[in-house]
Amino acid sequence: MAFIDYYKILGVSKTVSEAEIKKAYRKLARKYHPDLNPNDKVAEKKFKEINEANEVLSNPENRKKYDAYGEHWQHAEEFEKAKQQKGYQQTTSEPFGSYSEQEFSDFFSNMFGGASTRGSGRQVKFRGQDFNAELQLDLKEVYTTHKRKLTVNNKNIRITIPAGIENGQIIKIKGHGGKGLNGGPNGDLYIQFSIVNHSKFKRDKDNLHATVDLDLYTALLGGELMVDTFNGKVKLNVKPETQNGTKVKLKDKGFPKYKKEGQFGDLYITYQVKIPTKLSNKEKTMIKELQKLR
Amino acid sequence: MEAQDLIPVKVICKRYNVPSSFIINLQEYQLIEVLVEKDNYFVHITQIKKIEKLIRLHYDLNINFEGVDAINNLLQQVEYLQQEIIFLQNKLNRYE
């Protein structure tokens, strides 16, 4: 474990009083507290560091050992023993390896002897903590409804991911959070989806957008064009004299509508007319002839 | 509303070691909803997480009720703005 300068973390010098440490800690805690910085992983990490620094430096005995052992303070047998006696813990169970606001109660009580351990432990039913997790999927994967196996706190669960789920959307898996206390109901698991799009289609809710190249002659005279849709190819009839940037709608060829089985958005194709390059002399002559006709 | 989902305020106070005036204050600032039935006060189980958070803000960060109320409003705005950012990012992806 890398050496952490707890004084530096709290922004105080080694000679400060206990009261000043407390003051510095409170000021930083108010700035980086997870309750005040929802979904901010940087603040979360910073808050953990501040807590750890405070845990050690606010306790005169721990501070003395930290000052004495410096970098190796954690390995000092005497210190370890003292730490175990105090029941000091730095880790919490973390679904998908990340700490979330919902887990804060546990983390908080470990670090502070906080809210959930304030009372006398009377047998009261309490709902378990909610867990937060993020699941990254490719856009292709959310085109169809599919099942997926996840491991949450060493427990395998199978979830159904409905087609058409959006980037940033959160779904709740009831009862798969932390265990309830004294027979209370389990918490819930909240999964936020991060949808990565490697396709050539741009998604706007259940509509898709794509740009296709159209050669000049087909644009001028009209014709047929094969275009890719998300699940195959379709033949398009291009109207004569199609302008660059013309947009056509392919009904029901877009993305599945969330939780609306069999319903799809539309696919919008924008034509990008390609002007030929490296014209031959003959082509140039003929185009000049055309120009004269205009 | 299931009766088993209602927790007496006095039980919460004992559990979290907070005075009942704290819960009453939270209600007065409309931060939580307290149900009254035959002179007994209850809160719904779904509010426990919020109460825990408010306890932390008030007792551990030394923030008074006015401050807690202001923070609560600002956090709601933060949540709304975070959702709005996701929505706009999704829209922006179309043009990238």
- Whether A116 and B56 lie within 8 Å, measured CB to CB: no
Q: Residue length, chain B? A: 96
Per-residue pLDDT at A138: 94
Q: Among A154, A181, A196, where does a domain finish?
A: A196
Residue A265 Cα distances to A203, A231, A252, A260, B92, angstroms: 10, 13, 5, 11, 18
Instruction: Give backbone dihedrals phi and psi of A181, rounded to 5 degrees, phi first.
Output: -95, 135
CA pseudo-torsion sign B67, B70, B76, B78:
negative
A280 pLDDT exceeds 50?
Answer: yes
Q: Among A167, A196, A225, where does a domain finish?
A: A196
- Whether B75 and A36 lie within 8 Å, measured CB to CB: yes
The 3-state DSSP class for residue A40 equals coil
Residue A28 and residue A98 share a domain: yes
Select from A119, A168, A184 the Cβ nearest to the Cβ of B14.
A119
Contact criterion met (CB below 8 Å) for B35 and B43 = yes
Convert the pLDDT of each residue in A77-98 to its tens digit.
655 555 555 554 443 333 333 3
Looking at residue A145, which CATH number applies to its domain? Answer: 2.60.260.20
Instruction: Count how many domains chain A has.
Output: 3
Residue A39 and residue A84 share a domain: yes
Average pLDDT over residues A130-154: 88
Does residue A294 lie within any of the structural domains? Answer: no
Does residue A1 lie within any of the structural domains? Answer: no
Residue that has been written with the tokens 């007319």 in this structure: A273
A254 pLDDT exceeds 50?
Answer: yes
Half-sphere exposure of A225 (CA within 13 A, CB side): 27
Residue A189 and residue A208 share a domain: no
Q: Angle between the B20-28 and B9-16 helix axes, to the nearest 10 degrees?
A: 120
A292 pLDDT exceeds 60?
Answer: yes
Based on the number of CB atoms within 10 Å of its own CB, is A273 exposed (0-12), middle (13-18) or buried (19 or more)? Answer: middle
Contact criterion met (CB below 8 Å) for A190 and A133 = yes
Average pLDDT over residues A250-271: 95
**CA distance to partner chain A, nearest, from residue B8 (Å):** 10
Whole-number Å distance between alpha carbons of A177 and A163: 24
- Taking the alpha carbons at both ends of chain A, their separation in whole angstroms is 78
Select from A118, A127, A209 the Cβ nearest to the Cβ of B17.
A118
Does residue A122 lie within any of the structural domains? Answer: no
Helix then strand count (H, E) for chain B reads 4, 3
Residue range of the domain that includes A48: 6-111
Residues of B in contact with A108 (CB under 8 A): 56
Select from A38, A39, A114 the Cβ nearest to the Cβ of B56.
A114
- Whether B90 and A166 lie within 8 Å, measured CB to CB: yes
% pLDDT > 90, chain A: 51
Half-sphere exposure of A271 (CA within 13 A, CB side): 26
Per-residue pLDDT at A34: 87
CA pseudo-torsion sign A191, A34, A186, B4:
negative
Does residue A222 lie within any of the structural domains? Answer: yes
Q: Among A81, A111, A141, where does a domain finish?
A: A111
Residue A209 and residue A165 share a domain: no
- Whether A119 and B60 lie within 8 Å, measured CB to CB: no
Residue A157 and residue A83 share a domain: no
- Given CB atoms, is B53 within the 8 Å cutoff of chain A? yes
- Given CB atoms, is B55 within the 8 Å cutoff of chain A? yes
- Whether B60 and A166 lie within 8 Å, measured CB to CB: no
B81 pLDDT exceeds 50?
Answer: yes
- Given CB atoms, is B11 within the 8 Å cutoff of chain A? yes
Residues of A in contact with B90 (CB under 8 A): 166-168, 203-205
Whole-number Å distance between alpha carbons of A36 and B68: 10
Convert the pLDDT of each residue in A205-216 to its tens digit.
899 999 999 999
Residue A263 and residue A216 share a domain: yes
Select from B15, B78, B90 the Cβ nearest to the Cβ of A168.
B90
Based on the number of CB atoms within 10 Å of its own CB, is B60 exposed (0-12), middle (13-18) or buried (19 or more)? Answer: middle
- Whether B62 and A204 lie within 8 Å, measured CB to CB: no
A103 pLDDT exceeds 60?
Answer: no
Helix then strand count (H, E) for chain A reads 8, 11
**CA distance to partner chain B, nearest, from residue A272 (Å):** 15
Q: Residue B69 corresponds to which tokens in the numbers above?
A: 């109320």
Look at residues A214, A228, A207, A233 and name the one whose alpha carbon lies nearest to residue B94: A207
Select from A115, A130, A197 the Cβ nearest to the Cβ of B16.
A115
Per-residue pLDDT at A223: 96
Residues of A in contact with B18 (CB under 8 A): 118
**Ordered structural domains, chain B, with CATH:** 3-95 (1.10.1660.10)
Look at residues A121, A126, A131 and name the one whose alpha carbon lies nearest to residue A100: A131
Average pLDDT over residues A181-194: 84
Per-residue pLDDT at A94: 34
Residue A206 and residue A189 share a domain: no
Residue A14 Cα distances to A20, A47, A70, angstroms: 11, 20, 12
**pTM for this prediction:** 0.56
Does residue A253 lie within any of the structural domains? Answer: yes
Whole-number Å distance between alpha carbons of A47 and A42: 9
Select from A108, A119, A203 the Cβ nearest to the Cβ of B17.
A119
Contact criterion met (CB below 8 Å) for A21 and A54 = yes
Does residue A116 lie within any of the structural domains? Answer: no
Instruction: Give every CB contact of residue B82 below 8 A, 6+ residues apart in sequence.
Output: A38, A39
Per-residue pLDDT at A82: 52
Alpha helices by DSSP H, listed for A138-209, are none
- Single-letter code of the amino acid located at A125: K
Does residue A52 lie within any of the structural domains? Answer: yes
Does residue A125 lie within any of the structural domains? Answer: no
Residue B45: DSSP 8-state: G
B87 pLDDT exceeds 50?
Answer: yes
Q: Dihedral (C-alpha) A274, A280, A281, A286: value to the nearest 10 degrees?
A: -40
Looking at residue A106, which CATH number applies to its domain? Answer: 1.10.287.110
Residue predicted with more confidence, A77 or B70: B70
Residues of A with CB under 8 A from a CB of B: 26, 29-30, 33, 35-36, 38-39, 102, 104-105, 108, 112, 114-116, 118-120, 122, 124-127, 129-130, 166-168, 184-185, 197, 202-205, 209
